[in-house]
């Protein structure tokens, strides 16, 4: 059973890519060892957030309002996933596509009006 030249070329290419990756990985390890950056120092593996030292426990409870705002952000952020393809192909969709996107944005707008009326975005 003979191997086709295309499969053989793909195997050789895969082997070269793996060898190159391992070579680069080895060189990076060698350079970090040579520069001494691999040595452990005090505070190297502590949590670091924007230059502010850690304060308190990471297990503190948050108010439900923070989670509500996060969910609303995700909900209204997902709309861009639907609006970007329309923006790319709005010429080919014509007026029918425009009316459909207008209905979509109107439903989102009604949802936003409902949230404002219910006071979901109030911080008090």
Domain boundaries of the chain, sorted by first residue: 1-59, 61-124
| pLDDT tens string 50-86 | 666 667 776 778 788 888 888 888 888 888 888 888 8
Is pTM beyond 0.85? Reply is no
- Short-list 114, 115, 123, CA closest to 66: 123
From the first residue on, what is the mean pLDDT of each consecutive set of 10 residues in the chain (124 residues)?
A: 85 97 96 79 69 70 81 83 87 92 91 87 76
What 3-state class would DSSP assign to 47? coil
Question: How far is it, in rounded angstroms, from Cα 114 to Cα 120?
Answer: 9
């Amino acid at each position: 059973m003979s191997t086709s030249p295309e499969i053989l070329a793909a195997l050789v290419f895969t082997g070269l890519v793996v060898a190159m990756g391992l070579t680069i990985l080895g060189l990076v390890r060698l350079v970090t060892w040579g520069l001494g950056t691999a040595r452990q120092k005090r505070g190297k593996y502590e949590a670091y957030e924007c230059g502010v030292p850690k304060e308190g426990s990471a297990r503190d409870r948050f108010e439900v309002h923070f989670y509500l705002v996060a969910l609303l952000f995700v909900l209204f952020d997902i709309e861009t996933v639907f609006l970007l393809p329309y923006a790319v192909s709005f010429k080919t969709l014509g007026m029918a596509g425009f009316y459909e996107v207008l209905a979509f944005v109107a439903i989102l707008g009604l949802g936003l009006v409902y949230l404002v009326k219910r006071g979901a975005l109030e911080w008090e």
